[in-house]
Amino acid sequence: NAGVTQTPKFQVLKTGQSMTLQCAQDMNHEYMSWYRQDPGMGLRLIHYSVGAGITDQGEVPNGYNVSRSTTEDFPLRLLSAAPSQTSVYFCASRYRSSGTHYEQYFGPGTRLTVT
């Protein structure tokens, strides 16, 4: 299987533009989440989902929307991009059941630049 896939790999936006970062997984994982990675700050949780139709905010949700209509897909939407959203975005997923507590699988990332 392909694991966690993200598209696009790179994107440049102008301030105020909108776009959707795609994330898909083929491991039938219930949990999916989005992180952003900024220099010197590690990874920070933006939004997460515990299953289809259920989403919640992480620690840095402002400026981002998510939805989870299927188990496989978890898109991240930027409605009006700002330079502060320049970052590398990672999608992650994991099983709900115990035995692999919190072991998350990460996608390859999307590098976003907002000018």
Partner 1 sequence: AQSVTQPDIHITVSEGASLELRCNYSYGATPYLFWYVQSPGQGLQLLLKYFSGDTLVQGIKGFEAEFKRSQSSFNLRKPSVHWSDAAEYFCAVGAQLTGGGNKLTFGTGTQLKVEL
Residues that bind partner 1 (CB under 8 A): 4, 31, 33, 40-45, 48-50, 54, 56, 58-59, 90, 94, 96, 101-109
Tell me the closest approach of the beta carbon of residue 109 to partner 1, in angstroms.
5
Residue 90 contacts by C-beta under 8 Å, 6 or more apart in sequence? 6, 34, 35, 36, 37, 43, 106, 107, 109
**Shortest separation between residue 41's beta carbon and partner 1, angstroms:** 6
Please state the closest distance from residue 48 (CB atom) to partner 1, in A: 5
Min dist CB 42 to partner 1, Å, is: 4
Closest to 115 in 3D by CA, of 91, 86, 72: 86
Closer Cβ to partner 1, 9 or 14, answer by number: 9
Burial 85-107 (b: 16+ CB within 10 A, else e): bbbbbbbbbbbeeeeeeeebbeb
Q: Toward partner 1, which CB reaches closer, 17 or 105?
A: 105
Query: Using CA atoms, how far apart are residues 66 and 35, in angstroms rounded to an integer?
Result: 12
Nearer to partner 1, 14 or 102 (CB): 102
